[in-house]
Amino acid sequence: MSARKDRRAGEAGRRRSRALGPANSMITAPENGRAMIARETEPECVKVPPAHESAAVLDEALLPRPVAGDFALPFTAVPDLEVPDLAPLVLGPTPQVSGKGPGRDVGHVAAPQEEPGETLNNLPMPDFERLSLNLARLVEQGGKALAAYLKPFETGDGKPDMSSEVANAVRSIGRVVEHWLSDPVRTVEAQTSLATNFLSLWAHTLRRFAGEKDEPIVPLDPADKRFAAPEWRESPFFDFLRQAHAIATNWADDLVNRADDLDRQTRDSAKFYVRQISSALSPSNFLATNPELLRETLAQSGDNLVRGAALFAEDLEAGKGTLKIRQTDLSQFELGVNLAATPGKVIYRNDLIELIQYAPSTEEVYKRPLLIVPPWINKFYILDLNPEKSFVRWAVAQGLTVFLISWVNPDERHRDKGFEAYMQEGVFAALEAVEKATGEKHVTAIGYCIGGTLLSMVLAYMAQGHDDRIESASFFTTQTDFSEAGELRVFVDEEQLRAVELKMTAKGYLDSAKMANAFNMLRPNDLIWSYVVNNYMKGKAPVAFDLLAWNSDSTRMTAANHMFYLRDCYLENKFTRGKTVLGGRQLNLSDVTIPVYHLAAREDHIAPAKSVFIGAKFLGGDVRFVVGGSGHIAGVVNPPTKLKYQYWTGQKPAGTFEDWFATTTETKGSWWGDWLNWVTDQSPAKVKARIPGEGGLEPVGEAPGDYVRVRY
């Protein structure tokens, strides 16, 4: 038996020696525990350093080898390169070993003597009895999670279906792979690029393990919170994982960007899904490869994993078999109390909207009312968060009489209500109600996001009918041209639209989770994986945050409305080409000649500033174009008291966005005051404050109303 083991050890050693290249190196283990690669003519065997076997495997894996495939990179072992014993650096100190055996001593491994709670190689020692109990509890929680996942299949209620997303990812990434593999020269170029970077990383890692200081191949980005723990910099092992992930990610991104013969839609889609995959495969997302998670799990003896598994099972159940990641503690918020709490009355209600009139906080108000048309993707109270962030409360305090549309969260009854219904039963119904409540026929209006897209079409429709009830309009992060519509375009092509239409046919609406997931995928590291790590691995419930409470309060969209938006706007970009038909009229944006305040956000991924700028150029009247700092939400919800961000103003939109922006003037702080001056200068007359319900309409309820409270 001993002889057979010796022969196997010798054969393994010769295989390892041959893998090192033509120099025929041999690894020996001196008494000090450090390994040496020395040139030999005919090595007999490879002796493993006195450490855990897995450390020896890692030691061997870090040595560069010829690259398999259509080509091979020559490699010659470097003579006299000192390689450290890796086990203490990765796995902890070498256990004391007794006994005898071929090649090394084997036998009883003495257990560490530290008590639970003390540290071994800077890692906390767990309570092993408690850890064992927690492993059993993990199995129990895993069963609950599995039951929550399988429940929709048993009841037939909302079966999870990601087939269209997976098919689109495979199709777009497959086209990129086909591009690079169809030409042998390109194939070699791609392989060489990846292999060269990894060879450099391996050499860097060997130097780090040898105790040398060496600059990383991929520097750590201080803004990337995933790798904030010091071990990602200080440990050669975790530094290797971080850089390997970055190299692979950058390589894949480069392949997509340089796939020149692909159409733009396919390339953008591939880039989007590569980002999803690279974000998911980050070493920070796994217990075994995240030093912070390892430390926390050992310190808590696995308590964190049990808590996380319980949260995971609850979120699966809440999502009816689809993981609905909680982003905040919703129990800390209540509509009408600390969200959407600006005082007011619901003065009008129909099947599609509730109209809220807010109570004045000044003795006099501006004569011309303000009507706000918010998006129906999520809910209106993004403009009425807590009192410090509420645009509505601030506008009321400036002396404006504010009316706001609250859209219904639709069900099967609303399946056929499209953009025309949202115009007639939404905007026009609201205008009539405002006139009855105040006696004022003319208003100024705000449209936010898709609410602004609807408002722009309504204005074009009204212009053809010489309807002047809206005297001026403000668009907040609103797209009217979709030629540069941003990352959401990856979800829109003929094949995907057919799949979406088929899914909506049965129910009559798009489920709220679909759009919520799409928006989260625009920022997967921040809105998906950070919560996966925090909630399910650290076992920490998320903190209370009003903006994320709003973000999680997603809404359905009617089938007719959603298909019109996707096909007419995103896919065919009809509006600015004069081909959109609404209410029997062919619309032209240039017919809109009223004054317009057009706000874009510089870091907006949903309505990119460049896209907003292009659409603004089609308007036929005077346009004040403003770019706010930050993104789609924070760029709008930026109260003056916070002194955050900045905004840029310039001439009427013309030329390219880049050229226009280069001539702008930057102003620190919020743009809200600039907007207020623009609005009130047009109509400065004031009247006595109007009390909701004292006009021509009786209140039907208290703000924020009933429609906003409907959740699915």
Kind of pairing between the strands at 557-558 and 353-358: unpaired
Residue type, 481: D
Residue from 161, 178, 170, 163 nearest 269 by CA: 170
Paired tokens of 477? 């992060």
Torsion, CA 29, CA 31, CA 33, CA 39, rounded to 10: -30
Residue from 336, 286, 329, 333 nearest 311 by CA: 329
Task: Count the neighbouring beta carbons within 10 Å of the beta carbon of residue 131.
Answer: 17
Residue from 258, 231, 253 nearest 242 by CA: 231
Return d(Cα 698, Cα 346) in angstroms, integer.
9
Return d(Cα 274, Cα 276) in angstroms, integer.
5
Paired tokens of 483? 């030629």
Q: What are phi and psi of 293, to 5 degrees?
A: -70, -40
The DSSP annotation for 98-118 comes to -S--SSS--SPBPPP-PPBTB
Residue from 77, 174, 199, 78 nearest 191 by CA: 199
- How many alpha carbons fall within 13 Å on the CB side of residue 552? 22
Paired tokens of 215? 């600059």
Q: How far is CA 173 from the centre of its chain?
A: 20
Paired tokens of 382? 């993004």
Torsion, CA 472, CA 475, CA 481, CA 483, rounded to 10: 160
Q: Which residues, in sequence order, are bridge partners of residue 97?
A: 109
Return d(Cα 178, Cα 171) in angstroms, integer.
10
- Judge whether 324 and 527 are in contact, CB under 8 Å: no
SS3 assignment, position 25? strand
- The residues, ordered by sequence, that sit 6+ positions from 162 with a Cβ below 8 Å of its Cβ are none
Task: Count the neighbouring beta carbons within 10 Å of the beta carbon of residue 54.
Answer: 12
- Judge whether 217 and 245 are in contact, CB under 8 Å: no
Q: What are phi and psi of 519, to 5 degrees?
A: -65, -40
Return d(Cα 266, Cα 286) in angstroms, integer.
30
Selected catalytic residue, list 259, 449, 528, 589: 449
Using the 8-state DSSP alphabet, how is residue 582 labeled?
A: E
Q: Which residues, in sequence order, are bridge partners of residue 37?
A: 27, 81
- Sign of the CA dihedral 333, 337, 342, 345? positive
Q: What are phi and psi of 663, to 5 degrees?
A: -105, 5
Return d(Cα 450, Cα 586) in angstroms, integer.
20
Active site residue 449: yes
In b/e form, how buried is each residue of 641-660, taking b as 16+ CB within 10 angstroms?
Answer: eeeebbbbebeebeeebeeb
Which value, in Å, is the radius of gyration of the alpha carbons in the chain? 32
Paired tokens of 137? 């509890």
- Judge whether 447 and 607 are in contact, CB under 8 Å: no
Q: Just list the catalytic residues.
A: 449
